[in-house]
Amino acid sequence: MIEALVLVLFAARDTEGRGLDCLKVEAVGPGDYRGVHHSLKDGVFELRLVKSNDFRTWKPVVRLDSHAHQGTIRRVGSQWLLAWEKDGPNGNYMHVAAYASLADLEAARPAFLKDITRTLSPGAEGTPCFERIQFDGNWAKSRIQIRFHYYRNLDVDRQASGELVNFERWTCAPLPYINGPLESTYRGNIGDRDISDGYELMEAQLRKEDWASWRILGRNAGAAYRPIQIDTPGKSQSFANPNLTYLPFPDGSPGAVLTLFMPSQGNAINESGTLIIAIPATAMKQILKERRIRLAGPR
């Protein structure tokens, strides 16, 4: 059991009752948090910004984009950087946006925008996360390294990495040293991931087109990926779209927020949707080291 547990919230929704699918959290400061997630409305995914002061209650702020999902967010000083996956007529692609201030972010008013043209797959490239950001106050003179997946041979998702230079030039390549060792076990997609404080979480699917077979893997930088066992009260078994952020808790102490998407397949009905876990940073690092998360239920 996680002794220092602060919050475990299954099937998380905002105050309008909309699911917080693939929520990624960032801190403005202690007790002041923003999150980016997607939600389905009239058959179309919307990327939305929400806010909270306790990780439990999330209030809508603004719709950031339509036909958009799988977003990630990073505060860079007083500015903000977002990336997400866009639906397109010929397949999905990535979009990156920078905002000069929190007010601009909450008004969905970007200062810099970039559509990332697909180069590795004719079908889809998406689920971005930030690996490294070099920024000195001018996004026109920045380097942004992004991990993402590409739909290899229109068959399965695989890992790749790219760099956006000065919000203009994009170069990328597959990551065979990551994909190769996993493919004998995970024969479906190897997709979304997040990197925080030197630790990486990633989703991988045991069988193609089997939503009940999503699993979470973890590793420290450079180490091998290892499965993370997650025990829930309802004995759910399928977990995807990991997002991990280390941030200050409302009292200023070091904390961590882990979110996972739990598909309806393979999971308890009352646990499906977005799972939010908020615990002290030291406790999060310990359970990731042990590669087992035991959840007693909502708190």
Question: Exposed e or buried b for every residue in 63-84, given b needs 16+ CB within 10 A?
Answer: ebbeebbbbbbbbbeebbbbbb
Q: Which two tokens stand for residue 138?
A: 């001018």
Is 157 within 8 Å of 190 (Cβ atoms)? yes
Q: Which two tokens stand for residue 130?
A: 């930030």
Q: What span, in angstroms and rounded, lies between the C-alpha atoms of 232 and 234?
A: 5
In a domain, 182, yes or no: yes
Helix residue spans in the chain (DSSP H): 102-106, 176-182, 281-290
CATH code (residue 227): 2.115.10.20
Q: What span, in angstroms and rounded, lies between the C-alpha atoms of 104 and 255?
A: 27
What domain range is 100 assigned to? 7-294
> Which distant-in-sequence residues (6+ apart) come within 8 Å of 195 by Cβ?
129, 130, 131, 147
The model's pTM: 0.96
pLDDT over threshold 70, residue 298 = no
For the residues 282-288, what does the mean pLDDT come to? 94
In the chain, the number of structural domains is: 1
In a domain, 242, yes or no: yes
Q: What span, in angstroms and rounded, lies between the C-alpha atoms of 242 and 249?
A: 20
For the residues 95-105, what does the mean pLDDT come to? 98
In a domain, 262, yes or no: yes
In a domain, 2, yes or no: no
DSSP string, 176-244: HHHHHHHTTT--S-EEEEEEETTEEEEEEESSTT-GGGEEEEEEETTS--EE-EEE-TT-----EEEEE
pLDDT over threshold 70, residue 4 = no
Question: What is the spatial order of strands in the sheet that 93-99 belongs to?
Answer: 68-76, 79-86, 93-99, 112-116
Q: How does strand 7-9 pair with strand 273-280?
A: antiparallel
- Give 1's pLDDT tier (boundaries 50, 70, 90): very low
- Give 70's pLDDT tier (boundaries 50, 70, 90): very high
In a domain, 190, yes or no: yes
Q: How many helices (H) and strands (E) does the chain have?
A: 3, 22
In a domain, 278, yes or no: yes
The pLDDT score that the predictor gives to residue 297 is 54
Tens-place pLDDT, residues 210-238: 999 999 999 997 799 999 999 999 999 99
In a domain, 181, yes or no: yes
Q: Which two tokens stand for residue 261?
A: 């998407």
In a domain, 1, yes or no: no
First to last CA, the chain: 13
